[in-house]
Amino acid sequence: MNFTEFETERFLFRKLRESDFPIVYDWLGNSENMKFRKSTLSEEETHKYLDWAISSANEEECKNFEFATIIKETGALIGVASIFNLDIEPELGWTIHRNYWRHGYGTEMGKELLNFAFGTLSLRRIIAGCNANNIASYRIMEKIGMRREAHFIKSQRRNNELNAEWCDRFQYAILWEEWKKLRCNLTTERKMYVE
Ligand SMILES: CC(C)(COP(=O)(O)OP(=O)(O)OC[C@H]1O[C@@H](n2cnc3c(N)ncnc32)[C@H](O)[C@@H]1OP(=O)(O)O)[C@@H](O)C(=O)NCCC(=O)NCCS
């Protein structure tokens, strides 16, 4: 399926654009925002990421959906909601600018990603993973109905923000039939914009 933009009551999920660079770099280049990632990104790496996201979105059969997430009321780009690796093992991801943390946006993005992944892309199974210290990220996974199915011990070396420690990693998953049971709680009104 090609990249499809859509909106919900609160958000617009659209393609990333080169003009998003300043705000995207403001989170990818920030050590607080990237605490649980391998490292912060340089300006050049951020441009490369944007080029990759934009070219992925333009593929006829999109395998990596990187949705710029906009609050409709204010027009603010607050983060990116992702469904990636569709050709390998479909996985969810979320990154929100630190100014917008703890407003429930991450959980709402997670729900909408699941609705899109199962309701629109008709996927069978989806995973998500995070550093075991990243409580906010795995709480989202739990709140949207995913199950913890793996705990990898000291499997990843992390960045200077975590003193380059070896960290544990959690993996969560959800099947289509599990989502279907939860759907009445998760589904919201969506308007789709197919190009
Ligand atoms: C992970 C992230 C997307 C969470 O976004 P958010 O909008 O703050 O999340 P929500 O407000 O929906 O909160 C989700 C849950 O996490 C909890 N939470 C949020 N921040 C927390 C923190 N710093 N410490 C502990 N719990 C936290 C919330 O209380 C909520 O759980 P609850 O309902 O049981 O109270 C955001 O912190 C972020 O972008 N972090 C940097 C990038 C990142 O690490 N991405 C994930 C990589 S795997």
Q: How far is the CA of 103 from the centre of ligand 1 (A)?
A: 9
Q: Which residue has the CA at smallest separation from atom 36 of ligand 1?
A: 96
Phi and psi, residue 124, nearest 5°: -95, -35
User: What pLDDT band is residue 194 in, cutting at 50, 70 and 90?
Assistant: low
How many CA within 13 A on the CB side of residue 36? 17
In the chain, which residue ranges form alpha helices assigned H by DSSP? 21-28, 43-57, 105-114, 135-143, 176-186
d(CA 110, CA 92): 8
* Domain-located, residue 120: yes
* Domain-located, residue 61: yes
Is there a contact between 177 and 164 (Cβ–Cβ < 8 Å)?
no
95 lines ligand 1 (CB under 6 A): yes
DSSP state of 108: H
The total of structural domains in the chain comes to: 1
pLDDT in tens, 52-82: 999 999 999 999 999 999 999 999 999 999 9
pLDDT at position 159? 75
Q: Which domain holds residue 153?
A: 4-190
Here the CATH number for the domain that contains residue 35 is: 3.40.630.30
Among candidates 49, 61, 63, 65, which has minimal Cα distance to 15? 65
* Domain-located, residue 63: yes
Q: CB neighbours (10 Å) of residue 66?
A: 23
98 lines ligand 1 (CB under 6 A): no
* Domain-located, residue 47: yes
Q: Output the six-digit token pair for 14.
A: 């659209």
* Domain-located, residue 155: yes
Is there a contact between 3 and 83 (Cβ–Cβ < 8 Å)?
no
Per DSSP bridges, beta strands 91-96 and 76-84 are antiparallel
Instruction: For residue 145, give the amino acid letter.
Output: G
* Domain-located, residue 83: yes
Instruction: Assign residue 41 a region (left: φ > 0; alpha: ψ between -120 and 50; beta: otherwise).
Output: beta
* Domain-located, residue 195: no
d(CA 134, CA 31): 14
Q: Which residue has the higher pLDDT, 138 or 185?
A: 138
Q: How far is the CA of 169 from the centre of ligand 1 (A)?
A: 16
* Domain-located, residue 114: yes
Residue 195 has pLDDT above 70, yes or no: no
Kindly report the pTM of this predicted structure.
Answer: 0.94
User: What pLDDT band is residue 157 in, cutting at 50, 70 and 90?
Assistant: confident
pLDDT in tens, 103-123: 999 999 999 999 999 999 999
- Average pLDDT on 150-159 reads 89
Q: Output the six-digit token pair for 168.
A: 């544990």
